[in-house]
Structure 1
Amino acid sequence: MAVTTIAAGWPALPVLPDAATDAVLASGLLPELAYAFGGPFHFILPDAFDANLTAMRRALAEAGVDGFVYFAKKANKAAVFAERAAAAGAGVDVASAAELREALGHGVRGEHLVLTGPSKDSALLCLAVQHGALIAIDALDELDTLVTSVLRGPARPARILLRVLPPVQPHSRFGMNEAELATALAFCVEAGDAVRMEGFSFHLSGYAIQPRADLAAHLTDLCLRARVQGLEAGRISIGGGLPVSYTDADSWHAYLEGHDKRHFHAGKSFRTSDFYPYHCPKPGAQALAALLAARPEGRGQELAEVLKEAGITLLLEPGRALLDRAGASVFTVQGVKDRDGYGLITVDGTSLSLSEQWFNSEYLPDPHLVSRDPQARAGLYPASVGAATCLESDMLTWRKIGFPRRPRTGDLLVYPNTAGYQMDSNESPFHDLAIPPKVVIDRTGHPRPRWRLDRHFT
């Protein structure tokens, strides 16, 4: 089969070069796997996870900041990422009992887990305390549940962070306001050795650097005040929010400028503000370095210096940024219809495997076309991509993609860089279709990529 790129002269969003994905595409392995599974599947490139984690740790070290990275497990269910985090001594951010058990089962130490999410029940809190996980307390009633229901009798102390309501996002459903924080701190002091109040955290939407730097400095001040009350308060968590860049700046800006509903099947309308920012000048670890170099409002120092002077350990919970280039999703073309000036491709599987569609948005990076006939006649063929279901709205790509040739039944569409939040956030066995399997690719020391199925327990 031949891999072809999207044709010029049509609205396009090509992904940045990725040698590891290109090697898998060129290997001939994907058609064999498509035949073996008889349906869509995802392939995972765990070496990318390792590289992204290393880059983040390097950014912390170069800034002289003591830090710890937790992988936000909600970004991808594949077990291999928890395995890689465990092997590297990193942590995992979990929000349910199932995620917590998965992380433990794949080797992550209990003290390297952070439990987030709102309104955690007593059973989940108890499990976290038993394994020494760090718990982000989101509300006063949750703190009350922890102390009154979980910490009765002899038990190891509960390690907690208090989540702060961001002043710049006062309508967020996450975190406590100033009055609630004061009550929570008094509660922690009264609880004595039953609670280890290790610091504060926040959940901040968006990807802007300055608001994160400002809020991190504010949490540092809160830690200093909490220490006066006799609390440990030596850590702050800034959550995730490190962006990923999928395409180059010129392609992204050209796409936004030329955005038109005529480029979408059935005149589907999207607001450009609802799209993920598919290009950013400083992604991943570079965004972390920029954050540490930013000067919080009203401060004469960079954030890194503020943290070091206060003796604060910075905790991070990235998901997408650790999964950049760590996997792709593969669908087989089942048929093609010609419409008025464009085509409608139907593939096996559903848009549940590209989760952006279910947030009234579109996963914009161009898919690769892997043709079963390398001699197929070339020629621009714009087409949208629909799923093999009975729903008008079940579209993988509403956008009319300018394919370099008319796809044919049996060809593959490979959606790149889908490991972060795309490939399994919303998957379900709709129409009794099987959940697409995940294939872990190993290219180390072998002329051709080897593969195995991911070892996810549930």
Structure 2
Amino acid sequence: MASGLLAELAYALGGPFHFLLPDAFTANLTAMQDALTAAGVDGFIYYAKKANKAAVFAERAAAGAAGIDVASAAELREALGHGVRGEHLMVTGPAKDPVLLRLAIVHSATLAVDALDELDQVISLALTGRVRPARVLLRVLPDAQPHSRFGMSPSELATALERCIQGGDAIRMEGFSFHLSGYALQPRADLAARLVEQCLRARVMGLEASRISIGGGLPVSYTDAKSWDTFLETQRPAHYHANKTFHSGDFYPYHSPVAGTRALAALLATRPKPSASTVAELLADAGIELLLEPGRALLDQAGATVFRVQGVKDRDGYQILTVDGTSLSLSEQWFNSEYLPDPQLIPLDQDAPSGVFPASVGAATCLESDMLTWRKIAFPHPPRVGDLLFYPNTAGYQMDSNESPFHDLPLPPKVVIDRTDHVRPRWRLDRHFT
């Protein structure tokens, strides 16, 4: 992205902003769809909308023959309003509101049912509405994560299957789903194989059971292996403002040797223990459709965030920069972690001297802990008031997961950068409804 355009946007918008690159989203989606086809897998991708609220990504999902994973009535309405068909919606989340359940049934969305009482609600609403059957997946509690608050135990699943049979035409039990924390491929493959077996057993009982959802969890690699390993090995309190301490295990895995579409291809080629067949082969042999709900992986390189430096304060051997926004727009800080891709300095003075100028980055609030970057970043030019700070690759979960108009500061607007058929990129504001 040209620094001149960013400077123009900062001037026009008068504060921090996010810019979105929808072409990157479309490229990621197409690559994942191609990976499913190449593996011979009948699959469908739902964009996990919680990863970014922007309307343009919902629009691109609809245009790209994908669905959307939603967890609230507002998200469902937004998805419909931006062109996603009801039958292409996946409704997840625990203890869903009755309004959300009713909307999902009316629009033929797929419901990932998380508990027995929720299943009873779904069946009751479907019987009362008498419009169409409720389409459900039964969410499984992972053996490897027995303390997860998501999913049903084996005994609860057995009861749920019986209730699906008793529900008759009011319900279509289309298969199973799971929520699995972490990014390792083998546990995800093992659980997918278990769900295939569950589908085969459910079919014997007379249920449809032709789909499984394995959620998201496709990693994104933000940096190279050497930089990541060096950071983990050498980071210590002296590298941070106020000698802040971070634990290595709290960081997102900012490097992954296999990420995004390559991670999906690797997952499909993984052999679940103790099977001799790959995940792709098990799905094909059983005639089961694979459902995925990626968020971060679809948003890789699809956006960034820009702040303006409005204050510079000297400290012993480094500076503290204050920018015109808050860390609520860089959400990693609110998980007792640090967003590790370094911000890039775009100096107002193009003739600024070169060198090494360490600085941490604070927010324009009264909170001591409101730091966008605790690390002392080695900037190549001396930061000055009016310079811009560019945080790369923030579209996935960073921009708006925790945004808040704290201090009555306005939320940073989202700017869509359109490149198609234009020599110079053109911009517009995102058409988010709320």
Cα distance in structure 2, aligned partners of 1:357 and 1:254: 21
Residue of 59, 79, 97 corresponding to 1:83 = 59
Cα distance in structure 1, aligned partners of 2:103 and 2:253: 37
Alignment of 1:263-282 (within 5 A): 263-282=239-258
Q: Which runs of 5+ in 2 are unaligned?
A: none
Deviations 1:16-52 (A, max 9, x none): xxxxxxxx234x1111111111110000000000010
Shift of 1:115: 0.2
Do structure 1's residue 56 and structure 2's residue 65 form an aligned pair?
no
Cα distance in structure 2, aligned partners of 1:344 and 1:88: 44
Runs of 4+ in 1 over 3 A off after TM superposition: none
Do structure 1's residue 292 and structure 2's residue 268 form an aligned pair?
yes
Do structure 1's residue 335 and structure 2's residue 311 form an aligned pair?
yes
Deviations 1:155-182 (A, max 9, x none): 2000000000000000000000000000
Cα distance in structure 2, aligned partners of 1:303 and 1:115: 24
Shift of 1:249: 1.0
Do structure 1's residue 113 and structure 2's residue 89 form an aligned pair?
yes
- Look up the equivalent residue of 2:96 and give its one-letter code: K
Cα distance in structure 2, aligned partners of 1:48 and 1:419: 11
- Assess if the C-alpha contact under 8 Å between 2:126 and 2:132 holds in 1: no
- Look up the equivalent residue of 2:178 and give its one-letter code: F
Shift of 1:305: 0.5
Shift of 1:153: 4.8
- Assess if the C-alpha contact under 8 Å between 2:271 and 2:278 holds in 1: yes
- Assess if the C-alpha contact under 8 Å between 1:76 and 1:423 holds in 2: yes
Shift of 1:369: 0.7
* Greater RCO (CA < 8 Å, at least 6 residues apart): 1
Deviations 1:389-427 (A, max 9, x none): 000000000011000111100000010000000000000
Aligned to 1:322: 298
Alignment of 1:47-446 (within 5 A): 47-446=23-422
Shift of 1:445: 2.3
Shift of 1:58: 1.1
Aligned to 2:432: 456
- Look up the equivalent residue of 1:217 and give its one-letter code: A
Shift of 1:149: 3.8
Q: Which runs of 5+ in 1 are unaligned?
A: 1-23
- Look up the equivalent residue of 1:260 and give its one-letter code: R
Determine helix, strand or coil for the equivalent of 2:2: helix
Percent identity of paired positions between Structure 1 and Structure 2 = 74
Shift of 1:151: 2.9
Determine helix, strand or coil for the equivalent of 1:323: coil
Determine helix, strand or coil for the equivalent of 1:82: helix
Cα root mean square deviation, aligned:
0.8
- Assess if the C-alpha contact under 8 Å between 1:125 and 1:150 holds in 2: no
Cα distance in structure 1, aligned partners of 2:131 and 2:248: 52
TM-score between the two structures when normalised by the length of structure 1 = 0.94
- Look up the equivalent residue of 1:226 and give its one-letter code: A
